Amino acid sequence: MEMTRLFECLDFQIQNGSIEDAFAAKHDGQWKKYSTQQVKDIVNSLSSGLLDRGIKKNDKVGIVSFNKPEWVFADLALSQIGAISVPMYPNSTSEDYAFILNDAEVKLIFCGDKELYEKLEVTKKSVAQDFSIYCFESIGDIFWEALLVKPSDEHLQQIDELRNEIANEDLATIIYTSGTTGTPKGVMLSHKNILSNSMAVASIFPISGSGYRTLSFLPLCHIFERTASYAYMQMGISIYYAESMDTIGDNLKEVKPHFFATVPRLLEKVYDKIVAKGYELKGIKKNLFFWALKLGDRYEPNLNYGLGYKLQLALANKIIFSKWREALGGNVQFIVSGAAALQPRLARVFWAAQIHILEAYGLTETSPGISFTRDNPQDVRIGCVGPMLPEVEVKIADDGEILAKGPNIMMGYYKRPDATAEVIDKNGWFHTGDIGEIVEDRYLKITDRKKEMFKTSGGKYIAPQPVENKFKESVLIEQVMVVGESEKFPAALVVPAFDALKEWCHKKGITYTTDKEMIYNEKVLAKFEREKDRYNSDFAQYEKIKKLKLLPEIWTIEGGELTPTLKLKRKNIMTKYSKEVSEIYSE
């Protein structure tokens, strides 16, 4: 069958061979499996219940939950009746929820647990329209299973009629992303956008045959994992959902997946734990461990190193790297890394350890894939994010910005034609905001970010201005710049308001010497830590500033840190204080 709408991914799996563990998740310590047919039946029952509840075509329905089969049940049930899903991060703030719920005029929400339910109940006070909440955790009469209705012939006929009305280019979902001003923008993605991307991925995915398993833990509200899920359904891959981010290690050993998708930050954590254990070794075991690491640091998949190196690497794989593969379940053939830049050092050592790292690149606005590394060592270039996906075109603008075109480019920003026009030009090219180059006429390489917004290595977007503006509310902070591009966490360079600091020191009986000395005073540092905690409270966990670095000199136009309109010259500041930024992330 030819797929033109997202909900047909499930039909495609049924037609090409149902599987007993299409989805699986832990319940009371045991893995509960759902066959393809069971999923189909649940989706139809949920669609029937939603129709009875008054949900109709083009209505907006929110999903706020950590990954679980119920998330996908809701997504597919909404999709096939023409309702528009509006996924949200479980760790977003109530303010973000309120904005999204108001902007999208959401009529009903699925939430993951009691804590999220209570958060949404508080959010209701700031939302103009009324909306119902159904919870994936059993809580009284709002348990989501209350919406499951055994479909009658009339229900099934109505579902079929609605399915037939849905076109390939119809809106399927609105995914809100944070802008540089902090106001989220709703990315409108059609069935065509996402399906073209998932089919492109499926066409080049390095597996064949049946019996493959993956472990899902990246948020389904992010388009990276969601598009991957549709691809998995098309390929008949069993999707096991991790219990939580804290149990990934245990779940990998239980599920023994053949591959999984992740973000660089998690790979960094895995690597850091491995190295930490290496330092605990003694004698020859420790020497062998770090000998293997040095071999891996030199590895380039596409190069021929000769017999001597190959023999050494084979030995390293047998005695050292084999334990790495066991820690990932023993079956992992490759890992897909996306949502942020991966350190080339990590890519080399994992490839050397026979764990292939396939980097992907894209944005929510591109559904998300633009490029994808192929699983052929000769076709890998460390530091690049692979060749382009089928049907996706890329060109580099005169200023170095990466432009993309294809069936994966979003419909536009919801209710924001002005913002849409800023990123999609009259010829249909989407302006990514990233700077890059094409290596060897084939491989895309990202070199910089054009916009101020950045991602941590965990793949989270950080919009610096709202954080900076909030921190400047402190009487003790004169200037602040958020840093953390591709790092583990956001931090901030801070120039104190030195007159106010002198006054505070006077009140506290602290002798004030010089500005340069006081930024190292223990009591002053402790005060700024308290200020940090105070102003962090307004932000989601991933946005919170983890460390501050106090600086002794005010930023000026003359010093090159500010523009004539007093905006931060971020690159200049990063260059001038590169040593201080390095200290933040090496402590």
Structure tokens at 312: 């050494």
Question: Coil, helix or strand for 3?
Answer: coil
Say what the pLDDT of residue 565 is.
47
Q: What are phi and psi of 371, to 5 degrees?
A: -135, 160
Over residues 372-428, the pLDDT tens digits come to 999 999 999 999 999 999 999 999 999 899 999 999 999 999 999 999 999 999 999
Helix-helix angle 283-297:344-352, to 10 degrees:
110
Say what the pLDDT of residue 566 is.
63
Say what the pLDDT of residue 508 is.
94
Superfamily of domain 463-586: ANL, C-terminal domain (3.30.300.30)
Tell me the average pLDDT of the chain: 93
* Greatest extent of the chain over all pairs of C-alpha atoms, in Å: 83
User: Using only C-alpha atoms, what is the Rg of the chain?
Assistant: 25
- Any idea which of 321-335, 444-458, 522-536 has the lowest mean pLDDT? 444-458
DSSP strand pairing (430-439 vs 454-455): unpaired
More confident residue, 126 or 93: 126
Cβ atoms < 10 Å from Cβ of 290: 14
On whether the CB atoms of residues 197 and 389 are closer than 8 A, the answer is: yes
- Reply yes or no on whether the pLDDT at 342 is more than 50: yes
d(CA 491, CA 315): 41
- Reply yes or no on whether the pLDDT at 361 is more than 90: yes
DSSP strand pairing (461-462 vs 454-455): antiparallel
- Contact partners, residue 97, CB within 8 Å, separation at least 6: 64, 88, 119, 120, 123
**DSSP secondary structure string for all residues of 342-409:** PPHHHHHHHHHTT-EEEEEEE-GGGSSEEEE--S-GGG--TTS--SBPTT-EEEE-TTSEEEEESTTS
CATH number for the domain whose boundaries are 35-166: 3.40.50.980
| Per-residue confidence band for 468, with pLDDT thresholds at 50, 70 and 90 | confident
- Any idea which of 54-63, 257-266, 410-419, 489-498 has the lowest mean pLDDT? 257-266
More confident residue, 287 or 450: 287
Q: What are phi and psi of 519, to 5 degrees?
A: -70, -5
- Reply yes or no on whether the pLDDT at 142 is more than 50: yes
- Reply yes or no on whether the pLDDT at 584 is more than 60: yes
Say what the pLDDT of residue 273 is.
80
What is the total residue count of the chain? 587
Domains 35-166 and 463-586 share a fold: no
- Reply yes or no on whether the pLDDT at 180 is more than 60: no
Say what the pLDDT of residue 563 is.
62
- Reply yes or no on whether the pLDDT at 557 is more than 80: no
Structure tokens at 497: 């308001």
- Reply yes or no on whether the pLDDT at 354 is more than 80: yes
Question: Coil, helix or strand for 482?
Answer: strand
- Reply yes or no on whether the pLDDT at 343 is more than 80: no
| Per-residue confidence band for 179, with pLDDT thresholds at 50, 70 and 90 | very low
Say what the pLDDT of residue 253 is.
95
Q: Rounded mean pLDDT of 103-113?
A: 97
- Reply yes or no on whether the pLDDT at 447 is more than 90: no
d(CA 148, CA 15): 24
User: In the Cβ-directed half-sphere of 502, how many Cα atoms lie within 13 Å?
Assistant: 6
Q: Rounded mean pLDDT of 185-196?
A: 97
Give the residue extent of every domain in the chain.
35-166, 463-586
Over residues 258-316, the pLDDT tens digits come to 999 998 878 877 887 888 788 789 999 999 999 999 999 999 999 999 999 999 999 99
